[in-house]
Amino acid sequence: MADVTAVAALMRKSLRSGAVGRMSVPLREVVDEGRGTRFLSMPAVSSDLGLCVNKTGTITDGPGPTVTSVVTVFSADTGDLVGVLDGAAVTNLKCAAVTALVTDRCAARDAGVLAIVGSGVQAWQQYLGVSAVRDITEVRVHSRSREHAEALCKRIRRADGNVRTKVSASAREATDAADVISTATTSVQPLPIAPELPEHVHINCMGAHTTESRELSRSLLTAATLVVEDIGIAVAEAGEIHRKAIDLEALENGRHTGLGGRPTVFSSTGHASLDLITCAHLVAQEHH
């Protein structure tokens, strides 16, 4: 939890200082070899943080882990190789930290009920991120695998014995009357979440997406205030509906018209600037 809080704080500092805006972050490159495997490259360079990183990896359709990646870290000053980090470790910490960052800005201060749809690695990161910034007293989990959902609930109870956990039979049951909802699935079809949510509800939508679809229905996305890492990348990867979203820099610096009156949705597509910030924290920890 300490790493999540520290990386979220570094993200906030970098957004507020303009360091993220000054980074060079090209669109990610994806090469499809035509037989079910895609190869990706996500570079970013920051003079403020003195690093150049590139997450490279493969995406397969399974079975087993669908993403295998590493992050190479270079000094932006000397060009020297600083290290090669496990891509999954960087991604997981980044996702938990940005979830904490956005949830802290968007969720009701007294939010206490968290619903998680999905039960994989990213579902656990959602618990870590949300619980880092809100006093969560109840977590409901829905997954296609009841066994996996029960395992996640057990892990949460081990982390905090005061949290009530429940395996829900459906996404609708899990999300009904929840204060914060996190979706972390591989579905590109809308999950059965009620389209009309109270205005105080915040959703972290972290799973699969295309330019045409993702885990949330179009009606829900239209009814909500959308938050994205970067508008250009969100539009390119998750569709035009994100054109009027609030990006992280505007969210942190208050350069937007406000969040009240509608539910909020963090419609995440990922952004290499956040990988770079996460690497900066991990490299600094190693050198201490």
- Say if CB 169 and CB 149 are below 8 A apart: no
Rounded to two decimals, the pTM is 0.93
Measured CA to CA, the distance from residue 83 to residue 81 in angstroms comes to 6
- Phi, psi of 142, rounded to the nearest 5 degrees: -125, 135
pLDDT by residue (tens digit) across 226-281?
999 999 989 988 889 999 999 999 999 988 877 878 999 999 998 999 999 999 99
* pLDDT for residue 67: 80
The bridge status of strand 164-167 relative to strand 180-183 is unpaired
Is a pLDDT exceeding 80 seen at residue 62? Answer: no
Distances (CA, A) of 153 to 123, 138, 143, 281: 11, 10, 11, 29
Closest CA to 237 of 206, 268, 216: 268
Measured CA to CA, the distance from residue 60 to residue 115 in angstroms comes to 28
pLDDT range class, residue 193, cuts 50, 70, 90: confident
Is a pLDDT exceeding 70 seen at residue 195? Answer: no
Distances (CA, A) of 56 to 83, 125, 282: 14, 21, 18
Is a pLDDT exceeding 80 seen at residue 94? Answer: yes
pLDDT by residue (tens digit) across 97-126?
999 999 999 999 999 999 999 999 999 999
